[in-house]
C-alpha cells in the first residue's frame, strides 16, 4: 500500500497560497507543479507560434498545396499527439514523470528545427512540412503527463484552481505564440540566410527556431527542478511507489471498479466535441480572413496574430473568473455556459446580407482566362480575395470584420471555460489513482478532434463555403449540450459519489 504521511497539520497545497509553505517538501512540490505549468505553456506556444503562418508558408514553399492540404498539415500535429498521449501517459504511470517529459520535449525540439528547413528540398516540400508537424505533435503528447502529475499533486479542493492555472498557462502560450509570430513577421519573407548552417531565417522559420530554444529551457527545468510528489483527495502527502503495479494493486483495482465509466466516456466525448470545434476555428481563421477581407499573406499573419493574442488575454480573464464562479455554482454549470457561448460565437459567423467577397482575378474574360492566369501567377503582385475556383464565393455573402471579431470574442469566452472544466471534472471523476493513462486517453480524444476538425472544415469550407461549415458546427454544439444535460447528475467527484466527502 502507498504510505500516507500522517501529518494533519500540513496545509492544503493551494497554488494561490503556496508561498505559505514552510517545509521543504511543500516548496519542492509547488516548484514541480510550476514546471508543469511551464511545460503546458510551451506546448501551447509550440502549436500557436506558427499557426497563423502555416498557410502562407505552405503556399510559398510549395505552390501546388491547396486549402485541403492545409487541413492535413494542421491535423497531423494532433494526430501525432493523439498517438503519443496514451503512450506517454502509460510510461508516466510506471516510471518517474521526468523520463517521458524529457523524451517528448526532445522530439518536439528536433521537429521544430526540421520545420525550419522544409524549404531546402527541391521537391515535395509540402510533405516535409507535414512530417515535421507530425513530430512536433508527437512531442506535445506530454500534455497528458503534465496534467496527470498535477492531478496527483493536488487535493480535491484545490484541483479546480490548479487545472485553471494550467489552462491559464496554456492560454498565455496561446497569447504569446501568435504575438511572437506577429512580431517576427517584420523580418519579412526574405529575411536573412545563415550560410554556415544553411538556414533561411525569415518570418516563417524564426518562430520554429524560437520554439526549439524554449524547448531546451524546458528540458533543463525538468532535469533540475522536477521532483515526484503525490497527495490524496484530502491533501495529505503520499509517498509514491514508482511501480504502481506492485504495492498498489489492491487500491488500483478498487478504484478502477469504482470509477463511473459512463461519466468518463461522456467526458471524453464532450472534450472531443469542444476540441473539434476549436480546431476548426484555429484552422479556418487565416483562410477565412484572406477570402473575406482580401488580406495579403503578411496581413493575414499579422492581423490574425493580433486577434488571437487578444483572445488569449481574454482567456486568462475567463480562467480567473471560472475559478470564482465554479466555487459558487459548481463545475457543471460553467461547462454548460461555455458551450452556450461557443454556439453563439459560431452562429454569429453565418453569412448574411448582400455584400459579397472580392473575387481573385474577377476581371478574367472567358477568351483570355488561361493566359491571364499564367501572367498573374508569374507576377510579383500577390492576388487577394476569394479564389475563383471556390464557386461559393460568387453567391455567398461576405462576413464583415465586426461580425468576425464579435464571434472571436464569444468563442474566446466559451472555449477556455469548457477546456478547464473538462479537465477538472475528468480528474475529479477518476479519484486517487494514477491518472496517466486516463489523461492520455482524454488528451488523445482532444488530439483526435484536432486531427479530424481541420480536415473536416478545410474540405467543407473549400467546397461548400462558410454557411455550411458553420451551420454544421452549431448543430454539433447543440448535440454536446443535450449530451451534457442527459448525464449531468453523474458528472461528480469520485470521493463525493462514494460518500467520502461532502
**Helices assigned H by DSSP within 49-97:** 54-61, 67-94
Least confident residue range of 207-216, 447-456, 493-502 = 493-502
Establish how many alpha carbons lie within 13 A of residue 310's alpha carbon, considering only the half-sphere containing its beta carbon. Answer: 12
What pTM was computed for the model? Answer: 0.67
Q: 3-state DSSP call for residue 199?
A: strand
Q: Are 47 and 194 in contact, with CB atoms under 8 Å apart?
A: no
Residue bearing cell 509547488 = 30
Task: Name the band, by pLDDT with cuts 50, 70 and 90, for residue 184.
Answer: confident
pLDDT value of residue 399 = 87
Q: Could you report the per-residue pLDDT of 5-63, keeping only the tens digit for each?
A: 433 333 333 455 455 566 777 778 888 888 999 998 888 887 778 877 888 888 888 88
Q: Could you report the per-residue pLDDT of 303-350, keeping only the tens digit for each?
A: 887 887 788 788 878 878 887 888 888 888 999 999 999 999 999 888
Question: Which DSSP symbol is given to 231?
Answer: B
- How far is the C-alpha of 290 from the C-alpha of 300, rounded, in Å? 6
377 or 218: which carries more pLDDT confidence? 218
pLDDT value of residue 351 = 86
- How far is the C-alpha of 473 from the C-alpha of 287, rounded, in Å? 17
The phi-psi region of residue 431 (left if phi > 0; otherwise alpha if psi is between -120 and 50; otherwise beta) is: left
Q: Could you report the per-residue pLDDT of 194-209, keeping only the tens digit for each?
A: 888 888 888 888 999 9
Q: 3-state DSSP call for residue 497?
A: helix
- Distance in angstroms between the alpha carbons of the first and the last residue of the chain: 25
Q: 3-state DSSP call for residue 149?
A: helix
- How far is the C-alpha of 229 from the C-alpha of 155, rounded, in Å? 12
Distances (CA, A) of 317 to 161, 225, 310, 374, 392: 14, 29, 11, 50, 38
pLDDT value of residue 110 = 94
- How far is the C-alpha of 124 from the C-alpha of 163, rounded, in Å? 41
- Looking at the chain, the number of H-run helices and the number of E-run strands are 17, 4
Q: In CATH, what number does 3-359+384-497 get?
A: 1.20.1250.20
Q: List phi, psi (to 5°) of 354.
A: -120, 20
Question: Which DSSP symbol is given to 398?
Answer: P
Task: Name the band, by pLDDT with cuts 50, 70 and 90, for residue 96.
Answer: confident
Highest mean pLDDT among 64-78, 206-220, 409-423: 206-220
Quick one: cell of 2? 502507498
* 75 Cβ contact partners less than 8 Å away, ≥ 6 residues apart: 279, 450, 451, 452, 453, 454, 455
Q: Could you report the per-residue pLDDT of 166-182, keeping only the tens digit for each?
A: 877 876 777 778 778 87
Q: List phi, psi (to 5°) of 3.
A: -95, 115
pLDDT value of residue 432 = 66
The full DSSP string for 86-98 is: HHHHHHHHHS-TH
Mean pLDDT of the chain: 79
pLDDT value of residue 12 = 34
Residue bearing cell 480524444 = 445
* 316 Cβ contact partners less than 8 Å away, ≥ 6 residues apart: 168, 171, 172, 175
| Whole-number percent of the chain with pLDDT over 70 | 82
Q: 3-state DSSP call for residue 211?
A: helix
**Is residue 84's pLDDT more than 50?**
yes
**Is residue 404's pLDDT more than 50?**
yes
266 or 285: which carries more pLDDT confidence? 266
Q: Could you report the per-residue pLDDT of 412-466, keeping only the tens digit for each?
A: 899 888 888 887 888 788 776 666 678 778 878 877 787 787 777 777 888 888 8
* 229 Cβ contact partners less than 8 Å away, ≥ 6 residues apart: 25, 28, 29, 32, 152, 153, 237, 240
The phi-psi region of residue 355 (left if phi > 0; otherwise alpha if psi is between -120 and 50; otherwise beta) is: beta
Cα 268 to chain centroid, rounded: 15
Distances (CA, A) of 251 to 22, 239, 349: 31, 14, 50
pLDDT value of residue 373 = 43
pLDDT value of residue 291 = 85
pLDDT value of residue 212 = 92
Task: Name the band, by pLDDT with cuts 50, 70 and 90, for residue 253.
Answer: very low
pLDDT value of residue 54 = 85
- How far is the C-alpha of 206 from the C-alpha of 377, rounded, in Å? 27
pLDDT value of residue 363 = 46
Amino acid at each position: 500500500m502507498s504510505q500516507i504521511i500522517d501529518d494533519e497539520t500540513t496545509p492544503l497545497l493551494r497554488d494561490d497560497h503556496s508561498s505559505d509553505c514552510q517545509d521543504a517538501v511543500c516548496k519542492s512540490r509547488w516548484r514541480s507543479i510550476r514546471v508543469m505549468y511551464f511545460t503546458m505553456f510551451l506546448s501551447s506556444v509550440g502549436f500557436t507560434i506558427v499557426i497563423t503562418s502555416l498557410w502562407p508558408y505552405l503556399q510559398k514553399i510549395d505552390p501546388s498545396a491547396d486549402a485541403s492540404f492545409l487541413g492535413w498539415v494542421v491535423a497531423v500535429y494532433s494526430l501525432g499527439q493523439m498517438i503519443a498521449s496514451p503512450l506517454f501517459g502509460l510510461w508516466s504511470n510506471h516510471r518517474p514523470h521526468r523520463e517521458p517529459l524529457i523524451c517528448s520535449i526532445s522530439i518536439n525540439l528536433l521537429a521544430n528545427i526540421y520545420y525550419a528547413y522544409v524549404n531546402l528540398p527541391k521537391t515535395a516540400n509540402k510533405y516535409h512540412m507535414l512530417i515535421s508537424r507530425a513530430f512536433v505533435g508527437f512531442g506535445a503528447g506530454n500534455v497528458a503527463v503534465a496534467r496527470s502529475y498535477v492531478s496527483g499533486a493536488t487535493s480535491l479542493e484545490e484541483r479546480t484552481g490548479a487545472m485553471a492555472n494550467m489552462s491559464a498557462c496554456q492560454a498565455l502560450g496561446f497569447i504569446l505564440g501568435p504575438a511572437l509570430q506577429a512580431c517576427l513577421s517584420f523580418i519579412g519573407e526574405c529575411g536573412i540566410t545563415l550560410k554556415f548552417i544553411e538556414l533561411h531565417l525569415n518570418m516563417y522559420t524564426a518562430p520554429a527556431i524560437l520554439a526549439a530554444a524554449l524547448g531546451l529551457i524546458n528540458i533543463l527545468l525538468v532535469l533540475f527542478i522536477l521532483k515526484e510528489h503525490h497527495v490524496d483527495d484530502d491533501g495529505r502527502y503520499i509517498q509514491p511507489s514508482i511501480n504502481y503495479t506492485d504495492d498498489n494493486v489492491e487500491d488500483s483495482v478498487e478504484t478502477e471498479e469504482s470509477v463511473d465509466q459512463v461519466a468518463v466516456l461522456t467526458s471524453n466525448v464532450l472534450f472531443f466535441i469542444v476540441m473539434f470545434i476549436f480546431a476548426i476555428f484555429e484552422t479556418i481563421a487565416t483562410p477565412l480572413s484572406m477570402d473575406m477581407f482580401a488580406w495579403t499573406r503578411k496581413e493575414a499573419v499579422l492581423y490574425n496574430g493580433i486577434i488571437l493574442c487578444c483572445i488569449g488575454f481574454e482567456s486568462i480573464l475567463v480562467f480567473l473568473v471560472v475559478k470564482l464562479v465554479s466555487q459558487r455554482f459548481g463545475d457543471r454549470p460553467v461547462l454548460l455556459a461555455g458551450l452556450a457561448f461557443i454556439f453563439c460565437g459560431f452562429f454569429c459567423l453565418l453569412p448574411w446580407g448582400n455584400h459579397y467577397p472580392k473575387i481573385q482575378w474577377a476581371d478574367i474574360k472567358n477568351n483570355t482566362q488561361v493566359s491571364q492566369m499564367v501572367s498573374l501567377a508569374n507576377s510579383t503582385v500577390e492576388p487577394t480575395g476569394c479564389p475563383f475556383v471556390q464557386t461559393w464565393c460568387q453567391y455567398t455573402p461576405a462576413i464583415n470584420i465586426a461580425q468576425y471579431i464579435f464571434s472571436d470574442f464569444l468563442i474566446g469566452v466559451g472555449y477556455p471555460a469548457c477546456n478547464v472544466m473538462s479537465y477538472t471534472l475528468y480528474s475529479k471523476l477518476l479519484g486517487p489513482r494514477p491518472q496517466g493513462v486516463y489523461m492520455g486517453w482524454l488528451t488523445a480524444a482532444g488530439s483526435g478532434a484536432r486531427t479530424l476538425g481541420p480536415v473536416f472544415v478545410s474540405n467543407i469550407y473549400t467546397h461548400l463555403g462558410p454557411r455550411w461549415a458553420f451551420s454544421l458546427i452549431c448543430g454539433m454544439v447543440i448535440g454536446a449540450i443535450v449530451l451534457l444535460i442527459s448525464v449531468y447528475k453523474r458528472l461528480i467527484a469520485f470521493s463525493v459519489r462514494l460518500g467520502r466527502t461532502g
